Amino acid sequence: MARQPDGPPPPPTVQKLRLRYTKRGPLRFASHRDLARALERALRRAQVPMAFSAGFSPHPKISYMGAAPTGAASEAEYVEIGLAARCDPEAVRLALDASLPPGIDVVECVEAAEGAGGLAERLDATRWRIDLAEVDPAELAAAVEQLLAADVVTIAKRTKNGLKDVDARAAVVSAAVSEEPGRAILHVVVRQVTPTVRPDDVLAALAAVADLHPPLPPRAVREAQGRLDDSGEVADPLGPDREAGSRCQGEPQPV
């Protein structure tokens, strides 16, 4: 029979909250592990009543969803937390946001609605903005046209098991080009496949089909993350929870 830790079991999860937060400025270079540590410390400082796992090494119940790669900024990072006491979602948002460093901003917090499905099930696509300084917008538009016209564009992607050939074209849902002074902007929607096709993979695909090589490093921003709808747009993953509202019983408490 397996040993059990001494003492009573941890309190059960009575409420799940889903948060959208940003990764801006210099913190775009922070790794996912660094961001996770910062969030856990902030939850403690904000005195959010976290629920914990059982066992000899209890961990706060936090589920991270589809983290943006290191070096990319994001306006749409998501996390789900389990609480041992019911709290007002907006109070949690304010307390947690005040406890996090500038650049990690909690912009939305909603209670997970019963029967509305898991958050991970709603995240199957990402909309990226990729800024390409000193790139001719017409040249970029021509490269994008070639990419979209191709059936398969194979690139060599570095994974934890080494280089792997990946069809980057299969992940690209749509792509368009806009222009700002001194730069071309690539707007692209990609499916979240395995292995993940990221902005640098899209640029590798453009290099493969059109020999496009930006003279300066690109700057990528995840603008949205969610479920791909019938029109090819990325739907708000917190929409079903927000629309359902709070269905749990009991008065939420301030943090």
Are 113 and 130 members of one domain? no
What percentage of the chain carries pLDDT values higher than 70? Answer: 93
- Residue 63 belongs to a domain: yes
Residues spanned by the domain of 199: 124-235
Q: Are 54 and 10 in contact (CB under 8 A)?
A: yes
Residue 147 and residue 78 in one domain? no
pLDDT tens column, 134-189: 999 999 999 999 999 999 999 999 888 888 999 999 999 999 999 999 999 999 99
**How far is Cα 106 from Cα 24, in angstroms, rounded to an integer?**
12
159 with 226, same domain: the answer is: yes
Beta bridge partners of 78: 20, 65
6: in domain: no
In a domain, residue 7? The reply is no
The mean pLDDT of the chain is: 92
- Looking at the domain assignment, is residue 253 inside a domain? no
One domain for residues 103 and 198: no
Domain identity same for 144 and 159: yes
Nearest-CA neighbor of 133 among 182, 178, 86, 73?
182
Residues 102 and 195 in one domain: no
Residues 103 and 187 in one domain: no
- The verdict on residue 8 lying in a domain is no
Per-residue confidence (pLDDT) for residue 16, from 0 to 100: 97
- Residue 253 pLDDT: 65
Both 229 and 191 in one domain: the answer is yes
57 vs 22, residue with greater confidence = 22
Residue 106 within a domain: yes
Q: Please tell me whether residues 27 and 79 are part of one structural domain.
A: yes
**CA dist list (Å): 167 to 39, 79, 111:** 35, 29, 38
Same domain, 68 and 163: no
CATH of the domain at 151: 3.30.70
Q: For residue 39, which phi and psi values (nearest 5 degrees)?
A: -70, -45
Q: Residue 55 has what pLDDT?
A: 77
- Look at the chain and report how many structural domains it folds into: 2
Are 140 and 92 members of one domain?
A: no
Selection from 89, 3, 88, 14 nearest residue 51 by Cα:
14
The Cα 44–Cα 46 span in angstroms is: 5
Residue 246 pLDDT greater than 60, yes or no: no
User: What pLDDT is attached to residue 249?
Assistant: 41
Question: Does residue 229 lie in a domain region?
Answer: yes
Residue 207 within any structural domain of the chain = yes
For residue 5, pLDDT over 70 is answered with no
CATH number, position 99: 3.30.70.580
Within this chain, do residues 179 and 85 fall inside the same structural domain, yes or no? no
Considering only 5-14, 25-34, 55-64, 228-237, which range has the smallest mean pLDDT?
A: 5-14
